[in-house]
Structure 1
Amino acid sequence: MDHTEITRHFTRSDGTFLFARWGRPIVPIVFGVEDQTLSVIKGAFEAVVALTGHKMAETDPELGANCMVFFFREWEELLAVPDLDRLIPDLGSLVERLVAAGANQYRAFRFDKDGTIKAAFVFLRMDREMSEQPAETLALTQVVQVMLAWSDQAFSTRSPLALAGDATILRPEIAGLIRAAYDPVLPGAARDASHALRLFARMERAQ
């Protein structure tokens, strides 16, 4: 992965560059799944966070939980979630857009004053496509996509995962990029595309 491809992973469809990683320990909470699936998702968080050298915690002093993952069948179910409209502005109109688009997933981030990720909200509508994915694949895919503020096009044509025998793993170049992104020498947020060169240098050094 060269610096041009790294740049693409953080350049949005409107042409702006935005890089951000978590600046506080991640405290995930999952709604709408059975205990067996919950343990799979927790394991995915633990594995990816260990890769980065970042931390998880039992609670966030300001938010309680700062990474919320919702599983459901229809988008309209979100309108009945207490206080969700306080966390997601214009929730009603957002649901209408997602229904109209036939979307099966949506992610939203909140940022601290220094630009690092403060909170993430993951919404997964379990349509046929989602339901056919193994729980491990679904969990790992979603955790990867909340570890950084990726471009909305980052994984539109290629999954961040790969098969290694019977196991589903992170593609090595994506694992390397995530690890480099959490290098404490680098800033936790950047809006200049030159940051991709710094990420590339960290990846090269690690090889």
Structure 2
Amino acid sequence: MNEDIERIRRLFGGGDAGGFKFARWGGPIAPTVIGLDEGGARLFGEAIRLVAGIAGREVEDIDPEMGANFLVYVMQDWAHAARAPNLPNFLPDLPALIERLTAANANRYRVFAFDDQGAIRAAITLLRYDEQMRAAPVDYIALTEAALGMLVYDEAGVAEDRPVVMARFDEDEPRAMLSPWHAQLLRAAYDPRIPAGSKDPSLALRLAARIAVAAEDGDGDDA
């Protein structure tokens, strides 16, 4: 269990100067995917529904306040972000952000909005489909972005401990799946007894305890 505690702390920034920060969705999840054809948008939508289902959350067609609150924008170049539907309204500093992302040669950017309790209220993910992304399986990208939108992870922590793996079943082609441990973490994070938002590092102990119980019960082995 101690290993789980340290792993959770790293995933939520406990080892960095910024300190531990945990947040999950507090209200309805209403996704929309912009910039892909119908097949690509459906794949991303299915990935979001999959991880939401693992968390025990339902996905809604419409959020009463925002219409959509889990937004994924896919583009070929960061300059296209300035013309993306509604994006300038969500990100008032968009021109400066585009400059920073272009200078850094970044291919993804994610930002969250929170409610008064510190829970996730909205998530916006920007993806620049560069050569690196084109080299990865589309289902891997979709499931990764879906998983990273369900909790507020520390960037360095999640870069070292990625939630999505490629797995082969029988003679089928490898496909993306949420790792069993990360599936258990996601379920633990959405336990109603866990606060929706917290900066208390001791929360890692409570999450690890729930993961340990799930492992003993054999829960989540086929997530």
Question: TM-score w.r.t. structure 1 length?
Answer: 0.95
**2:181 corresponding residue in structure 1:** 173
Pairs aligned (count): 207
- Show the 5 A alignment for 1:46-61: 46-61=49-64
RMSD (Å), alpha carbons:
1.4
Structure 1 Cα separation of the partners of residues 58 and 153 of structure 2: 20
Distance in 2 between the 1:45 and 1:103 partners? 23
| Range 186-195 or range 157-166, more displaced | 157-166
**CA positional deviation for 1:67:** 0.8
What aligned pairs does 1:131-146 form with structure 2 within 5 A after superposition? 131-146=134-149
2:195 corresponds to which of 175, 187, 200: 187
**Counterpart in 1 of 2:160?**
157
After TM superposition, give the deviation of residue 174 of structure 1 in Å.
1.0
Deviation at 1:131, TM superposition (A): 1.4
Task: Please give the residue correspondences for 1:20-99 in structure 2 after superposition, counting only pairs within 5 Å.
Answer: 20-99=23-102
Judged with a 3 Å threshold, the aligned counterparts in structure 2 of structure 1 residues 186 and 158 are, in CA distance, closer, same or farther, namely: closer
Query: What is aligned with 2:131?
Result: 128
**Alpha-carbon distance between aligned partners in 1 of 2:160 and 2:112, rounded to the nearest angstrom:** 22
Q: Which amino acid aligns with 2:147?
A: V
Q: Stretches of 4+ moved more than 4 A in 1?
A: none
What is the deviation of 1:152? 1.8
Q: Contact 2:140–2:166 (CA<8 Å) still a contact in 1?
A: no
Question: Which of 78, 102, 106 is 1:103 aligned to?
Answer: 106
1:90 and 1:206 mapped to 2: Cα distance?
43
Alignment gaps of 5+ in structure 2: 169-173, 216-223
Cα drift, residue 155 of structure 1:
2.1
Counterparts of 1:48 and 1:192 in 2: how far apart (Å)?
Answer: 25
Percent identity, aligned pairs only, is 39
Higher relative contact order (CA 8 A, sep 6+): 1
Inter-partner Cα distance in structure 1 for 2:191 and 2:121: 18
What is the TM-score of this pair, normalised by structure 2?
0.88
1:9-59 alpha-carbon deviations (Å, 9 max, x no partner): 011754321100001111000001011111111111111111010121111
Runs of 5+ in structure 1 lacking a partner? none
